[in-house]
Amino acid sequence: MNSNESITKVVGLGILLFVVLILASTTTYLVQPGWRGIKVTLGKTAEGFIPEGFGFRAPLITRIVKVNIQQRTESVRADCFSSDLQQVILDVRILYKIPEQSVVGIYKQYSGDPFDSLIAPRVQEALKEVTAMQTAVQIVTNREDVKQRALAAAKLKIGSILTVVDIVIRNIELSKELEKAIEAKMVAEQQAAQAKFTQAQTQIEAETAVIKAKGEAEAIQVRGMALKANPTFVRLQIVEKWNGKSPLVVPSQAGQTPSSLLLPLGTPDP
């Protein structure tokens, strides 16, 4: 066997391998996890979807369209007007996914990405309806309420063909004048709340002082009545507090028998 024959066989083997690879690529398919396939044969779409995995298809006449069913996030802006005719621009993030049972139906009914043709316009419409029922200040202060109402309205408009998981309002844009007015109002409300709190605190402190003074007065009155009823109670307290030192004799008059004692009341020596 000469070198020309060897080269011819190598070339022929390479061509055969290339043809096999081409045929294999046209007769097989692979659907990745998180995706579903749609079989289209000569322009006709199969009724059921293809699950993830490996499979075979008819070459040249059948193609497999792959659809992502994982949760995705897209951005959208909604130019709205409040009930007091203020322009409010909402920058939102929409979390959505395609249910696998809707894969074929969406492919047949909507061209391209269903987000642009179905989800985005419905969410924008829902946001405009919700914001039109509230003032600009309410939209800013009740952001969570606006989100929940818009989410419920969007789900109702879209139906079950697509799943809107959540709507996140990232930013609310207002005119500069309106922002300043809202900020001034919020500052005034905070100052009023602080003043009210200070007033309530002062009142509580005053009432506490009155109660304390009344209690002390009543205690003094009770002690006075007790001493009046039992004069020896004072002498008993003096004796109990005596520190053991020699008593100090205090005569009532010079040259007479002592009539009273003054005992040291300091702390006893160790």
Whether the per-residue pLDDT at 143 is higher than 70: the answer is yes
Let me know if 112 is exposed, middle or buried by CB neighbors in 10 A (0-12, 13-18, 19+). exposed
For 181-221, what is each residue's pLDDT tens digit?
Answer: 666 666 666 777 777 877 878 888 877 877 877 777 777 77
For 73-120, what is each residue's pLDDT tens digit?
Answer: 999 999 999 998 888 999 999 999 999 999 999 988 886 678 988 999
Q: Report the topology of domain 72-174.
A: Tetrahydropterin Synthase; Chain A (3.30.479)
The pTM of the full predicted model, rounded to 2 decimals, is 0.59
For 6-48, what is each residue's pLDDT tens digit?
Answer: 777 666 777 777 666 666 667 888 999 999 999 999 889 998 9
Give yes or no for a contact between 48 and 65, defined as CB atoms under 8 angstroms apart: no
For 42-61, what is each residue's pLDDT tens digit?
Answer: 889 998 999 999 888 887 78
**Could you give the count of Cα atoms lying within 13 Å of 246 in the half-sphere of its Cβ?**
3
**Helix 120-131 and helix 143-158: axis angle, to 10°?**
130
pLDDT confidence of residue 164: 95
CA angle 112, 114, 115 (to 5 degrees): 115
Do the strands 28-31 and 53-56 form a parallel or antiparallel pair, or are they unpaired?
antiparallel
For the chain, domain boundaries: 3-68, 72-174, 182-229, 230-252+259-270
What is the residue-wise DSSP string for 26-53? HHEEEEPTTEEEEEEETTEEPSSPBPSE
